[in-house]
């Protein structure tokens, strides 16, 4: 952990940290002034644990802050440089987006959508997706976006939970060269939902669809819609959206976010973490179906009037060079992706990225899972050519925005591969034991957040009880994210994996991230996942699932022996696995996160629970086969 990288941008603003430490409420009040409010708030924070209301009495609109505020200065500036999977491209300026959003807001009104009504959006990564979200925000409707890779049951559950009046979908979307027939999925999912009044259908692929009585075509509706629609003046805590979590640890939860606090959090973190400048070309690879896409594809870049890339398809289509191609073509300066994507790129070697001109890059971000130091170094060296800071951002659907991250737009600090570094200003984070006492430095424990923050979820949709239970019952008046962590002697935070996934081996606690990083640092391994299964003597024993790098042909028994030795030397004999399985892929959520709970169930011969967010069922089938054979 002594390895440090001193690469700052020369920004140093100690005053902000000082102010945040002395009074986080007035600190956030100052940050909120960066937005445009129709009327200012009377009270910055109304905190009735565990419910927080930010900027009480203030009136604001998200769509207004994303679009109207830029019309005088950025009318012709590209907001979205869109690239279709098949090579199509579109440019939408701030002026274009403004017109389209107002038109679609009028369409929604004409379909009877009122303030507070829910609108489900099940669209591919096309500009109409942010347009629909911003149109909802404009009239105070609550959007609920469902990732376009989900199938009937997952959509049905979510639409039923949110009781959406309208569903906006497309005839299809492109994914790895194939058409995903979204409309067919919607038809089946909602066939008996009387509360759904209309289905708006965008023709993206022009594949044949059946037009049912509730269906209306996007183009027909837009053709006659007026392009002027004033933004509603909404209360600061008016709900902006419901979004379901990734489902890595269990059934997805319907997270409800508000407006004024959420936008304040996004505006600030985008500036601090990504040091955004007018000249930047920002590219976040997240699908808008996940929170990273909501916060850092749709809202944060638009609040700042930034230009960004929006890519429709799979990152490995038509081949492993697609991302680097986009970075080179558009001269991307800030790139934000996930450890899972980076591990996939790494698996195929350095030659592919090395054959592209990536010199426009200046900042590299990551989010979604702990980034193994090995992957961090690869990202830093091969993609960033040792000149771009790695911005490892820890946050959750529930936190709304980044909570722990290097902040090159605010300060210069040394980076340590694998650490998300420090909490953002105004956030009080600790690492504690079972009883809530802070653990000494370099001791593992549970991450907790001790005060409310502006991007904090309002509640779980329609389920205050579950909200209290999941996040606020383990420690009194502290938010419990469910992650395992360690704070080192410099105060840097190291995220060690899910609290549910901690391995307890003969009384020792080992985070999945520590062990997986050790395994991933072996030359032969592209990625790995570990889980513990019950054992009569040790309490729990470790099972390793490893995916080898492309082209590794060494005998499996030799590889296995090497890995056993490596784990014994790097972590200790206590962590020696009971079994190492070599598999061709790991079970992941559709957002790319490893589902260790499935591995645990398979390895211990139990039933596997909710798999609604599982990406590729063949990964589970393969592992089931391998585990039962050995
Ligand atoms: P569910 O709550 O339904 O199980 P999920 O937690 O995967 O799903 P998200 O809100 O998308 O849903 O993910 C947040 C989680 O992702 C965090 O709690 C953490 O475990 C992990 N995570 C995100 N960013 C990082 C990071 N930079 N380092 C380590 N872990 C991260
Ligand atoms: Mg979670």
Q: What is the pLDDT of residues 540-583, one digit of tens each?
A: 999 999 999 999 998 999 999 999 999 999 999 999 999 999 99
Cα(498) to centroid(ligand 2), Å? 9
On whether residue 34 sits in a domain, the answer given is no
Helix, strand or coil, per DSSP, at residue 215: strand
pLDDT at position 298, please?
A: 98
* SS3 letters across 590-614: CCCCECHHHHHHHHCCCCCCCCCCE
For residue 252, which atom of ligand 1 is closest to its CA?
3
To the nearest 10 degrees (0 to 180), the angle between helices 24-32 and 14-22 is 130
Contact 613, 252 (CB under 8 A): yes
Question: Does residue 623 carry a pLDDT above 60?
Answer: yes
Ligand 1, pocket-test mutation among 157, 254, 295, 369, most atoms within 8 A of CB: 369
State the closest ligand 1 atom to the C-alpha of 482, by its place in the atom list counted from 1. 18
- Note whether residue 591 is domain-resident: yes
From the number of C-beta atoms within 10 Å of its C-beta (0-12, 13-18, 19+), residue 434 rates as: exposed
**Best mutation site among 294, 338, 396 for ligand 1 pocket (most ligand atoms within 8 Å of CB):** 396
Model confidence at 422, pLDDT cuts 50, 70, 90, reads very high
Structure tokens at 569: 């030397």
Instruction: Locate the ligand 1 atom nearest the alpha carbon of residue 249 and give its number.
Output: 4
pLDDT of res. 630: 66
Q: Mean per-residue pLDDT for 609-627? A: 91
Q: Is residue 139 domain-resident?
A: no
Please indicate, yes or no, if residue 622 is contained in any of the structural domains.
yes
Q: Is the pLDDT of residue 6 over 80?
A: no
Dihedral of CA 451/463/458/405: which sign?
A: positive
Please give the distance, rounded to the nearest whole angstrom, from the Cα atom of residue 395 to the centre of ligand 1.
7
593 CA → ligand 1 middle, Å? 8
pLDDT at 536: 87
pLDDT band, residue 362 (cuts 50/70/90): very high
Q: Is position 457 within any domain?
A: no
Which ligand has the shortest distance to the CA of 250?
A: 1
- Give the pLDDT score at 2: 60
Residue 9 has a pLDDT of: 79
Residue 74 above 60 pLDDT?
yes
- pLDDT tier at 13, thresholds 50, 70, 90: confident
Instruction: Locate 316 and state its tokens.
Output: 């490995």
* CA neighbor of 58 nearest in space, from 260, 300, 240: 260
Q: Pick the residue whose CA is nearest to atom 3 on ligand 1.
A: 247
Query: How many Cα atoms within 13 Å fall on the side-chain side of residue 546?
Result: 30
Q: Which helix H or strand E contains 203, and what residues bound it?
A: none
Is the predicted pLDDT of residue 90 greater than 90, yes or no?
yes
Tens digit of each residue's pLDDT (9 = 90 or more) over 189-199:
999 999 999 99
Query: Which of 241, 368, 419, 466 for a ligand 1 pocket mutation test, highest count of atoms within 8 Å of Cβ?
Result: 368
Whether 121 has a pLDDT exceeding 80, the answer reads: yes
Cα(147) to centroid of ligand 2, in Å? 16
Please name which of 353, 340, 137, 151 lies closest in space to residue 230, comparing C-alpha atoms: 137
Q: Which of 245, 415, 470 to mutate to test the pocket of ligand 1 (most atoms within 8 A of CB)?
A: 245
Tokens of 460: 């779980």
pLDDT score, position 311: 97
Between CA 451 and CA 426 the distance in angstroms is 9
CATH number at residue 590: 3.30.300.30
What is the rounded CA–CA span in Å between residue 179 and residue 172? 6
Residue located nearest, by CA, to atom 27 of ligand 1: 394
Cα(516) to ligand 2 centroid in Å equals: 19
**Best mutation site among 340, 401, 492, 495 for ligand 1 pocket (most ligand atoms within 8 Å of CB):** 495
Residue 193 DSSP label: -
Which tokens go with 398?
Answer: 């529930």
Indicate which atom in ligand 1 lies nearest the CA of residue 397: 10
* Helix and strand element counts for the chain (H, E): 20, 30
Spacing, Cα 248 to ligand 2 middle (Å): 7
Task: Give the integer Cα–Cα distance in Å for 461 and 467.
Answer: 9
Partner residues linked to 180 by β-bridges: 173
538 found inside a domain: yes
Please state, for a pLDDT cut of 70, what percent of the chain lies above it: 99
Strands (E), 322-456: 334-337, 363-367, 390-393, 429-432, 444-449
Burial class (CB in 10 A: 0-12, 13-18, 19+), 551: exposed
Q: At what angle do helices 512-520 and 556-570 cross, to 10 degrees?
A: 130
Give the model confidence (pLDDT) of 460-511 as tens digits. 999 999 999 999 999 999 999 999 999 999 999 999 999 999 999 888 899 9
Q: How far is the CA of 452 from the centre of ligand 1 (A)?
A: 19
- Ligand number nearest CA of 418 is 1
φ/ψ region of 211 (left if φ > 0, alpha if ψ in -120 to 50, else beta) reads: beta
What percent of the chain clears pLDDT 90, i.e. is strictly above it? 91
Q: Give the pLDDT confidence of 210-221 residue by residue, as tens digits.
A: 999 999 999 999
Find the ligand nearest to 591 CA.
1
Which residues pair with residue 47 across a beta bridge?
A: 52
Number of structural domains in the chain: 1
Q: Whole-angstrom Cα distance, residue 314 to residue 99?
A: 29
Query: Is 513 a member of any domain?
Result: yes
H/E run at residue 157: helix 152-162
* 17 in a structural domain: no
Place of tokens 């056993």: 564
Q: Give the Cα separation of 266 and 287 in Å (integer).
A: 17
**CA 495–ligand 2 middle distance (angstroms):** 13
User: Who lines ligand 1 at CB under 6 A?
Assistant: 245-250, 252-253, 290-291, 367-370, 392-397, 420, 481-483, 495, 498, 591, 593
> Rounded to an integer, what distance in angstroms lies between the CA atom of residue 137 and that of residue 135?
5
Average pLDDT value for the chain = 95
pLDDT tens per residue across span 300-347: 999 999 999 999 999 999 999 999 999 999 999 999 999 999 999 999
- CB-count exposure of residue 488 (10 Å: 0-12, 13-18, 19+): middle
CA atoms within 13 A on the CB side of 391: 31
Ligand nearest to the CA of 399: 1
Give the pLDDT score at 423.
Answer: 98
Nearest CA to ligand 1 atom 30: 369
Residue 525, domain extent: 504-629
Distance between CA atoms of residues 340 and 345, nearest Å:
9
What mean pLDDT comes out for the span 77-106? 97
Q: Look at residues 417, 408, 414 and name the one whose alpha carbon lies nearest to residue 339.
A: 417
Whether residue 392 has pLDDT greater than 60: yes
pLDDT at 11: 80
Phi-psi region of 515 (alpha: psi -120 to 50; beta: other; left: phi over 0): alpha
E strand or H helix at 168? strand 166-170
Global pTM reads 0.96
Residue 482 C-alpha to ligand 1 middle, in angstroms?
A: 9
Q: What is the pLDDT of residue 10?
A: 77
Ligand 2 centroid to residue 457 C-alpha, Å: 12
Structure-token pair, residue 139: 């009239």
Q: 597 CA to middle of ligand 1, Å?
A: 14
pLDDT of residue 506: 82
């Amino acid at each position: 952990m002594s390895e440090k990288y001193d690469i700052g941008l020369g920004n140093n603003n100690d005053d902000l940290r000082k102010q945040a430490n002395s009074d986080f409420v007035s600190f956030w009040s100052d940050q909120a002034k960066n937005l445009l409010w129709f009327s200012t708030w009377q009270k910055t924070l109304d905190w009735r644990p565990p419910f927080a209301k930010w900027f009480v009495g203030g009136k604001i609109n998200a769509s207004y802050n994303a679009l109207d505020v830029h019309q005088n200065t950025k009318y012709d500036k590209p907001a979205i440089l869109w690239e279709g999977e098949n090579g199509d491209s579109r440019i939408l300026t701030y002026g274009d987006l403004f017109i389209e959003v107002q038109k679609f807001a009028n369409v929604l009104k004409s379909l009877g959508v009122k303030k507070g009504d829910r609108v489900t959006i099940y669209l591919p990564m096309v500009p109409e997706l942010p347009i629909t979200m911003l149109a909802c925000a404009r009239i105070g409707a609550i959007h609920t976006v469902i990732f376009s890779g989900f199938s009937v049951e997952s959509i049905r559950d979510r639409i039923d939970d949110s009781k959406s009046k309208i569903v906006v979908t497309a005839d299809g979307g492109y994914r790895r060269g194939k058409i995903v027939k979204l409309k067919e999925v919607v038809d089946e999912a909602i066939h008996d939902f009387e509360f759904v009044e209309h289905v708006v259908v965008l023709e993206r692929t022009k594949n044949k669809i059946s037009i049912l009585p509730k269906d209306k075509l996007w183009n027909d509706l837009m053709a006659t819609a007026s392009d002027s629609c004033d933004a509603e003046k909404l209360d600061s805590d008016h709900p902006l959206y419901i979004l379901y979590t990734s489902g890595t640890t269990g059934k997805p939860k319907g997270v409800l976010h508000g407006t004024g606090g959420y936008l304040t959090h996004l505006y600030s973190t985008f500036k601090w973490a990504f040091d955004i400048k007018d000249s930047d070309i920002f590219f976040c690879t997240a699908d808008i179906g996940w929170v990273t896409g909501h916060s850092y594809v749709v809202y944060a870049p638009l609040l700042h009037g930034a230009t960004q890339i929006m890519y429709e398809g799979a990152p490995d289509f038509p081949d492993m060079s697609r991302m680097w191609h986009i970075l080179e073509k558009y001269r991307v300066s800030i790139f934000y992706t996930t450890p899972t994507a980076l591990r996939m790129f790494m698996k195929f070697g350095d030659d592919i990225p090395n054959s592209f001109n990536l010199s426009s890059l200046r900042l590299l971000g990551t989010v979604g899972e702990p980034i193994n130091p090995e992957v961090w170094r690869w990202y830093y060296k091969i993609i960033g050519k040792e000149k771009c800071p790695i911005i490892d951002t820890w946050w959750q659907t529930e936190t709304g925005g980044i909570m722990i991250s290097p902040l090159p737009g605010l300060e210069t600090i040394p980076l340590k591969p694998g650490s998300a570094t420090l909490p953002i200003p105004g956030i009080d984070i600790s690492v504690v034991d079972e009883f809530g006492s802070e653990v000494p430095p370099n001791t593992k424990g549970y991450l907790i957040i001790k005060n409310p923050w502006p991007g904090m979820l309002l509640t779980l949709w329609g389920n205050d009880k579950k909200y209290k239970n999941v996040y606020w019952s383990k420690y009194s008046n502290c938010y419990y994210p469910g992650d395992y962590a360690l704070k080192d002697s410099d105060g840097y935070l190291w995220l060690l994996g899910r609290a549910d996934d901690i391995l307890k081996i003969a009384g020792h606690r080992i985070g999945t991230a520590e062990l997986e990083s050790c395994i991933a640092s072996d030359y032969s391994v592209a990625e790995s996942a570990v889980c513990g299964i019950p054992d009569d003597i040790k309490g729990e024993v470790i099972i390793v699932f490893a995916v080898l790098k492309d082209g590794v042909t060494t005998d499996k028994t030799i590889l296995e022996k090497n890995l056993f030795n490596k784990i014994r030397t790097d972590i200790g004999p206590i962590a020696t696995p009971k079994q190492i399985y070599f598999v061709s892929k790991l079970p992941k959520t559709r957002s790319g996160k490893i589902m260790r709970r499935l591995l645990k169930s398979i390895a211990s011969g139990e039933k596997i629970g909710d798999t609604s967010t599982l990406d590729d069922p063949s990964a589970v089938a393969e592992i089931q086969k391998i585990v039962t054979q050995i």
